[in-house]
Structures are given as structure tokens and as C-alpha cells.
């Protein structure tokens, strides 16, 4: 009897253990450079974290650390997360790159994913989104919508990501109106509502009627709304702030990628890679096309579909700003060139800060 009981408990124990192994949730951890509700970039990642949680339910547990400054602080946070039992860690800012490379080496059993970076290892993958595809559509809308033939462009820092956006926007605009002009204003910050608003006012004062921004606050759109002009949202749908001014927005949508990677980890199929996906993979989506004629809307939707079907905005013939040929007819840009892009295309009337 005693033996039977013992055997019974033992087998029960084994079943429980096996079940636990099956059900053991994966712990996915996130590191944000801003706060989880910054209304822009970091919030995009946090929404994706919640999406992951919802999609996978009991199979996953998530936690995040916010406002982590780039540098030694990031290294410390990553080490601490790795030690505390995280199975996969998403470092969501470009500036975490060196920290994540270092910590990935120290913890070979933990998987690391670094957003917008370019250094990989056996347990370190990178992921990024082709935001410039969205900016091509913005360019086409702006050129069609603008009465003055000039758009204002508020930008943060001259890094390849931003330059890609300007070039792609310009190519889109030129495909509608070859003489389209943009006025570029560098505010040298990602986030300062006051400065962004001032830049928008300066641009409107100089006669542009549409503004594009590569900074994170909705302030420029609010100014556009107040002045009866137009603009585009950044990183999230900002139509609440400017219901009559927002034409559309490029919305970050990292959620499906996170689900895919955590599932891969659970299946044992996770491999290091450099993922750079675009509109067709739904890693970025376009907010509803509003405040424009049916004609313009149709053009925007067709362009979006065309890109989803494989069209590359950087398809030749494309001439550089200095007049030399970049891409011949039919040729498309290589990813390496795009990742380090440091020149304007023809028609951009600005000197790129070096």
C-alpha cells in the first residue's frame, strides 16, 4: 500500500513536472529609452508588448524597464534582466547597441533582440522597419495636396534613418510634381514640443501649407490644426490632436514581430538574424487617409498596395543632389547603402549637416 502510494505520488509528481515544463511561460523583457507612455517611439514598443501578452496569454510573461539612458546604465539594466530569468530581451533603442553586444556575450543562454542596430551574434538578432516606405506615400500625398508646391520638413538629427526618410519623401513627391520643393528645419532634438511648434510656425510663416515631421511630439500637428494647414503624424496615429489637419500617419507596429520571435523561441526555431521588414509585413501601418479628396486617397491606397506588392521607392533612375547618378533605370538601392545613407537626392534644397 505504502509502495503504491509512493509510486502514485512519484508519477503524479512527474506528470506535474512535465506539465509545468509545457506551461512554463516564457519571460520576455523589454528595455525602453523613454517612458512607456511617451506618446511616440517607446509607447509603440510598449503597445507591442501588450499585444504580445494578449496574443500569447499564459504562454508568456512580460516585463519592462523604462527611461533607461544609453550607455553604462543600459549595460547594468540588461545584465540585471538577464540574471533575473528573462528568456528573451528586446533592447528597443539604437543607442543600446554596444551594451547589448557586451551582455549577449556574458549570457549565451539568453536571447537578445536589438531594434534598429546592425551588430549581431549567435544569441543576438536585430530588427528594424522600413519606415521610408511610408514616407514615400506621404510625399505623394503632399505633392498632390499642396497648393504652394512646398512642404516643410521638421527633422531631428542627420542620421541615415532620417536622411532615408527625406529622400524617400522627396522621390514620392517628385513622382507627382517634379518641381516640388521642401524646406528643411533641423531642431536637433527628438522631443521638445515647444521647439517643434516654433519650427512649424516658422515654416508656415514662410508659406508652406503642409508639414512633415521626424520628431516625436504632436505639437507641429496642433499648430497645423490651428492655422488650417496640414501635416502627418509620427510613430502613432495623432488624429486626436489634429482631427482636421492629419492626412495620415506612419504607425509603428512591432507587435506581430514580437509574437513571431517569442513563438520561435518556444518552438526552438529561434535563430539570430537581421530583420528589416516593411509595409507588407505590417511592421508599420498607415493610419486612415483623411482630410483629402477621394482622388488623392485613391492614389495613396494604390501606392501603398504597390509597395506591398514589392515596389521599392528607391528604384532608379535616381540622381544625387550633386547631379551624379546614384541608381540607373530599374536598379534598386542595396540595403547596405540605405542603412548608411548620407546624401540627398536631387531637388532637396538643403545642405546635409555632416
Partner 1 sequence: MNLFLAMLPTIMTAATPLLLAAVGELVVERSGVLNLGVEGMMIIGAVTAFAGAQATGSPYAGMVCGILAGAAFSLLFGFLTLTLVANQVATGLSLTILGLGLSGMIGDSFVGTPGIQMGALPIPGLAEIPVVGPILFSHDLIFYLSILLVIAVHWFLFRTRTGLELRSIGDNHDSAHALGMGVIRVRYLAVMFGGACAGLAGAQLSLVYTPQWTENMTAGRGWIALALVVFASWRPVWVLVGAYLFGAVSIGQFNAQAFGFGIPSQFLSSMPYLATVVVLVLISRNRRLTLMNTPACLGKPFVPDR
Asked whether 157 and 338 are in contact (CB, 8 A), the reply is no
- 113 strand-pairing partners: 90, 125
Place of cell 514598443: 45
Could you give the CA distance from residue 112 to residue 146 in angstroms, rounded to a whole number? 44
One DSSP character per residue, 66-126 reads -SPPTTHHHHHHHHHHHHTT-SEEEE-SGGGHHHHHHHHHH-TTSEEEEET----BTTEEE
Between 38 and 304, CB nearer to partner 1: 38
Indicate whether 198 belongs to the interface with partner 1 (CB under 8 A).
Answer: yes
Joined together, the cell numbers standing for residue 171 give 522621390
Interface positions, 141-180, toward partner 1 (CB under 8 A): 152
Interface positions, 238-257, toward partner 1 (CB under 8 A): 240-241
- Which of the ranges 82-90, 199-207, 297-305, 333-341 carries the binding residues for partner 1, by CB under 8 A? 199-207
How many residues bind partner 1 (CB under 8 A)? The answer is 40
- Which of the ranges 182-190, 249-257, 305-313, 325-333 carries the binding residues for partner 1, by CB under 8 A? 182-190
Interface positions, 15-54, toward partner 1 (CB under 8 A): 34-35, 37-39, 43
CB of 217 to partner 1, least distance (A): 6
Among 109, 205, 295, 336, binds partner 1 (CB under 8 A): 205
Q: Which residues of 50-65 are buried (b: 16+ CB within 10 A; e: fewer)?
A: ebbbebbeebbbbebb
Indicate whether 70 belongs to the interface with partner 1 (CB under 8 A).
Answer: no
Among 29, 86, 162, 197, binds partner 1 (CB under 8 A): 197
Give the footprint of partner 1 on this chain (CB under 8 A): 34-35, 37-39, 43, 152, 183-189, 191-199, 201-203, 205-206, 208, 217-219, 222, 226, 240-241, 349-351, 353
Amino acid at each position: 500500500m505504502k509502495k503504491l502510494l509512493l509510486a502514485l505520488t512519484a508519477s503524479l509528481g512527474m506528470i506535474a513536472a512535465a506539465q509545468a515544463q509545457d506551461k512554463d511561460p516564457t519571460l520576455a523583457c523589454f528595455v525602453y529609452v523613454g517612458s512607456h507612455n511617451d506618446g511616440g517611439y517607446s509607447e509603440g514598443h510598449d503597445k507591442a508588448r501588450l499585444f504580445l501578452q494578449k496574443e500569447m496569454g499564459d504562454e508568456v510573461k512580460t516585463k519592462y524597464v523604462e527611461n533607461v539612458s544609453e550607455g553604462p546604465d543600459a549595460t547594468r539594466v540588461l545584465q540585471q534582466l538577464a540574471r533575473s530569468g528573462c528568456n528573451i530581451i528586446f533592447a528597443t533603442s539604437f543607442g543600446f547597441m554596444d551594451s547589448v553586444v557586451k551582455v549577449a556575450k556574458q549570457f549565451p543562454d539568453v536571447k537578445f533582440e536589438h531594434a534598429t542596430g546592425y551588430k549581431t551574434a549567435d544569441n543576438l538578432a536585430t530588427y528594424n522597419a522600413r519606415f521610408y516606405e511610408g514616407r514615400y506615400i506621404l510625399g505623394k500625398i503632399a505633392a498632390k495636396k499642396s497648393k504652394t508646391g512646398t512642404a516643410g520638413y521638421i527633422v531631428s538629427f542627420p542620421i541615415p534613418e532620417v536622411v532615408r526618410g527625406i529622400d524617400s519623401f522627396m522621390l514620392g513627391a517628385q513622382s507627382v510634381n517634379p518641381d516640388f520643393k521642401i524646406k528643411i528645419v533641423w531642431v536637433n532634438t527628438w522631443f521638445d514640443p515647444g521647439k517643434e511648434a516654433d519650427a512649424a510656425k516658422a515654416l508656415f510663416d514662410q508659406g508652406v501649407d503642409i508639414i512633415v515631421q521626424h520628431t516625436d511630439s504632436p505639437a507641429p500637428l496642433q499648430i497645423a490644426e490651428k492655422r488650417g494647414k496640414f501635416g502627418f503624424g509620427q510613430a502613432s496615429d495623432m488624429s486626436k490632436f489634429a482631427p482636421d489637419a492629419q492626412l495620415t500617419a506612419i504607425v509603428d507596429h512591432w507587435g506581430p514581430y514580437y509574437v513571431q520571435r517569442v513563438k520561435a523561441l518556444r518552438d526552438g526555431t529561434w535563430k539570430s538574424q537581421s530583420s528589416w521588414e516593411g509595409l507588407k509585413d505590417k511592421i508599420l501601418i498607415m493610419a486612415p487617409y483623411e482630410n483629402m479628396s477621394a482622388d488623392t486617397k485613391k492614389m495613396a491606397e494604390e501606392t501603398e498596395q504597390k509597395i506591398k506588392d514589392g515596389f521599392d521607392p528607391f528604384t532608379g533612375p535616381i540622381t544625387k543632389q550633386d547631379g551624379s547618378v546614384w541608381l540607373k533605370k530599374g536598379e534598386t538601392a542595396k540595403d547596405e547603402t540605405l542603412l548608411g545613407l548620407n546624401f540627398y537626392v536631387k531637388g532637396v534644397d538643403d545642405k546635409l549637416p555632416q
